[in-house]
Amino acid sequence: MKPAGFTYHRPVTVDDAVAVLAEVSPAGKVLAGGQSLVPLLNMRLAAPEHLVDINRLSELAYVRAGGDAVTVGALARHADVERDDAAYAVLPLLRDTLRHVAHPTIRNRGTTVGSIAHADPAGELTAVLALLGGTVTLRSAAAERTVTAADFFTGPMSTCADAGELVTSVTFPVPEGRTGAVWTEVARRHGDYAVCGTGTVVTLDDDLRVAGARAAFVSMGPEPVVLDVTDAVAGATHDTADWAAAGRLAAGRLDPEDDIHATADYRTHLAEVLTTRALRDAARRAAEVAP
Ligand SMILES: Cc1cc2nc3c(=O)[nH]c(=O)nc-3n(C[C@H](O)[C@H](O)[C@H](O)COP(=O)(O)OP(=O)(O)OC[C@H]3O[C@@H](n4cnc5c(N)ncnc54)[C@H](O)[C@@H]3O)c2cc1C
């Protein structure tokens, strides 16, 4: 099929882009890498009257890595983030996770911000942003605002962004202290959306005892689910902690649905196994961090 007709806009500055979005709102849609939107247009599952192509907004083509956060502009491709050595040095979880996102050709074009704006409940970066307590910055013609990931994701493919707003960047905080983070998932083929995916962050104290343990999931609910499972392992040393108990605790709190890819029971089983494994690996990484 071919897309329904639309008017195509190609602004060259962010100011122009938000001005066009304001003018055509609510009939406009942002076009970033097009890896999700173009198939939707072709299948006529989306039929916006106006497309606002942001691929010339070079001012948003950046990855900025600092000691406490990595900020990704709306025109940074997944591959830019994946290959950014400074981002990897402070937050290896980003590269580790991006290697599970689709295939290299899609990552060369698809944007990390687009993936978050798209809010697919199977999109890995949504869970990573939620796990780290990240933020999303939005610009309209009238104002700029920054919202937490918890407030941004409001349901499957649904966010708090208004039709006239452009997501200009997302910020992934670097976890503080002696912390390790891991992404793991099961997909039918590498690069497919995960049947179940989990990211974990474990924080150890100076005696290598567990001070915090969190896990976030994709494909286990309508939006990224973040669970604190510290209770199951608090105070135990990283190598003796009952990570299986933490995995069970997480699985017991999840409520996935059946679909054509997997039953809810199978997903819950995967969540328990993957969470146990990922927490243990994250704790091992945390123990290797210099005090
Ligand atoms: C075969 C295939 C496999 C894939 N597998 C995975 C996978 O395993 N995991 C995964 O996470 N993703 C996967 N993807 C999706 C991929 O990651 C996309 O790049 C991503 O979902 C959307 O990014 P994009 O830049 O292409 O956005 P687009 O397709 O251009 O836009 C997607 C949506 O987000 C909106 N949007 C985009 N940018 C902005 C912005 N700056 N401000 C406001 N709204 C915006 C658009 O209006 C649209 O509604 C896959 C895609 C394909 C084709």
Residue 37 C-alpha to ligand 1 middle, in angstroms?
7
Q: Which two tokens stand for residue 61?
A: 């083509």
Minimum CA distance residue for ligand 1 atom 10 = 123
What's the pLDDT at 1? Answer: 67
CB atoms < 10 A from the CB of 166, how many? 26
Whether residue 78 contacts residue 101, with contact meaning beta carbons closer than 8 Å, is answered with yes
pLDDT band at 289 (very low <50, low <70, confident <90, very high): confident
Question: What is the pTM (predicted TM-score) of this model?
Answer: 0.96
Q: What is the mean pLDDT of residues 11-40?
A: 97
Residue 187 C-alpha to ligand 1 middle, in angstroms?
18
* pLDDT over 70 (residue 37): yes
pLDDT in tens, 198-241: 999 999 999 999 999 999 999 999 999 999 999 999 999 999 99
* Residue from 18, 35, 195, 218 to probe ligand 1 pocket by mutation (most atoms less than 8 Å from CB): 35
What's the pLDDT at 190? Answer: 83
Atom of ligand 1 nearest to the CA of 194: 8
Cα–Cα distance, 130 to 50 (Å, whole number) = 30
In the chain, the N- to C-terminal Cα span, in Å, equals: 58
Domains of the chain: 7-53 (3.30.43.10), 58-173 (3.30.465.10), 178-288 (3.30.390.50)
pLDDT in tens, 55-78: 999 999 999 999 899 999 999 999
